[in-house]
Structure 1
Amino acid sequence: MIDERARRLARIVHDHLILTTPLAPSDCLLVLGSHDTRVAEHAARLWHEGWAPRVVLSGGRGKITSAWSETEAAVFARVAVAHGVPEDALLLEETASNTGENITASRALLADRGIAVRRGILVTKPYMTRRGLATARRQWPEVEWLSAAPDLAYEAYDDERQLIELLVGDLQRMVVYAERGFQVPMPVEESAWAACEELAGMGFDRHVISDLKGR
């Protein structure tokens, strides 16, 4: 059971990690693979709305999807096609195992196809939008990056413990990966960092890289 204090702290971290932007016509939707296929459904909606002509689905297998029989990109492609996106609008990048590789491997795939990208829309889980933007702006800085996510509240996730563990790991990475040069630095609110540290201390530390660093 998740007690009310842990839930309150997790909501603080969750809300801080969300950073969506206004959308504008773009060259591609870059969809970051994960265990949540609602992201692929949202990408299909954005394609139908005409925000970009191409949908790049990036993802091999990650920490949650390692046991899947298919890559994240393949699973997301089936969902997108089921929601009316034609196969010729899709490009699959099936090697990435983390957010940085989502960006760098997709960049290489599009370059190999001779497809220029000046503006792109990252499509991911709500609580991955801030870190996704920070990563893309470091790993592919020539592109103007926007971000979008399905409208999912904290309560929309079935496995609350898994969610909290992911939130703690992702907020830690906002700080540690910026220090290591993998992402552009973004301010982290003191309240969010304190909540993250307390949650890690409560045992929600499955995805923590190492001991949480002080800021």
Structure 2
Amino acid sequence: MDENLIDDYARLLFDYHFLKQPLKKADCIFVLGSHDPSVADYAAQLYNEGFASYIIFSGGVVRPIGELRNTEPKSEAEAFFDIAVRHGVPAEAILLENAATNTGENFIFTKKLLKDRKLNFNSFILIQKPYMIRRTYATAMVQFKEYDFVVSALPDTYDSYLTRCLKEGISKERVISNMTGDLQRLKIYPAKGFLIPMEIPDEVWTAYEQLLMLGFEGRMATQV
């Protein structure tokens, strides 16, 4: 198996998924849950730079995350809370949504949290891993369309992101399988009403098919 060829295919997917939008100040930074602690690091950075006055961490999946992987397991939101506080974000500036188990629920349950708390936030910076930014945007255009938002992730290339993941104990196979899984979702989820359609360039789809043939299909969604 040619690792350079695999990386070339994976780099095409990464660059496609990492939709770039200009940052602007917002009422709140909204972080969608994942296994990647860098999203919490980035949220704290933006908070400390004055981009928003509040952070919402959404994610109910309990899993080991970053430096916290050897501590008592916590939900994604709780683990991200700990990371943000360690970076100097005041606890009172953080809201936790601890029930969501997927991207759609991140939006649905966070909207419920806003309503229940009577919070009149109108603008958001949505934060996720780089290769989930396009799907986050496409989902928000359905689930969060009444709000003003931009999507953002810690600036990265495929190579720098993969290097950091390997240091965190996240394998290359998992990263690439996550990316093929996200592209599959971008293809099939519009028909289910989960997100808006996004044009997928032919070269990106060809790279996706090649990666599937090479076995990077461990994170695919069911199509039923």
Task: Say whether the fold is shared (TM-score over 0.5).
Answer: yes
Give, in angstroms, the shift of residue 39 of structure 1: 0.8
Could you tell me which runs of 5 or more consecutive residues in structure 1 were left unpaired when the two chains were aligned: none
Structure 2 unaligned spans of 5+:
none
Q: Does 1:199 align with 2:218?
A: no
Percent identity over the alignment? 39
For residues 82 and 63 of structure 1, the distance between their equivalents in structure 2, rounded to whole angstroms, comes to: 19
What corresponds to 1:182 in structure 2? 194
Query: Which residue does 2:140 correspond to in 1?
Result: 136
- CA change 1:194–1:41 in 2 (3 A) is same
Task: Kindly provide the CA deviation profile for residues 46-81 of structure 1, in whole angstroms up to 9, marking residues without a partner as x.
Answer: 01111111100001117997x982100000000000
Output aligned runs, 1:91-110, within 5 Å: 91-110=95-114
Rounded to whole Å, the distance in 1 between the matches of 2:62 and 2:196 is 22
Aligned counterparts of 2:181 and 2:64: Cα–Cα separation in 1: 13
Alignment-mate amino acid for residue 185 of structure 1: P
Opposite residue 23 of structure 2, the aligned amino acid is L
Q: Is contact 1:62-1:97 (8 Å) kept?
A: no
2:121 to 96, 103, 117: 117
Q: Take 1:110 and 1:28, find their aligned partners in 2: how far apart are those partners?
A: 11
* Pair 1:152–1:62, CA change in 2 (3 A): farther
Cα distance in 2, alignment partners of residues 37 and 161 from structure 1: 18
| Contact 1:19-1:130 within 8 A present in 2 as well | yes
Deviation of 1:152 after TM superposition, in Å, equals 2.4
> How do 1:161-172 and structure 2 match up within 5 A?
161-172=173-184
Is 2:87 the counterpart of 1:83?
Answer: yes
Residue of structure 2 equivalent to 1:13: 13
Query: What is the alpha-carbon distance in structure 2 between the residues aligned to residue 143 and residue 116 of structure 1?
Result: 11
Query: Is the 8 Å Cα contact of residues 180 and 216 (structure 2) preserved in structure 1?
Result: yes
CA distance in 2, matches of 1:109, 1:209: 27
The alpha-carbon deviation at position 117 of structure 1 amounts to: 2.6
The residue number in structure 2 matching 1:42 is: 42
Instruction: Measure, in 2, the Cα distance between the counterparts of 1:128 and 1:64.
Output: 20
Give 1:30 shift: 0.5
Please state how far the C-alpha of 1:3 moved relative to its aligned partner: 1.9
- C-alpha displacement at 1:210, in angstroms? 4.5
Q: 1:32 Cα deviation (Å)?
A: 1.0
Q: Determine the C-alpha separation between the residues in 2 that align with 1:98 and 1:195.
A: 25
Determine if the alignment matches structure 1 residue 148 to structure 2 residue 175.
Answer: no
- Give the partner amino acid of 2:132: M
Partner residue of 2:54?
Answer: 54
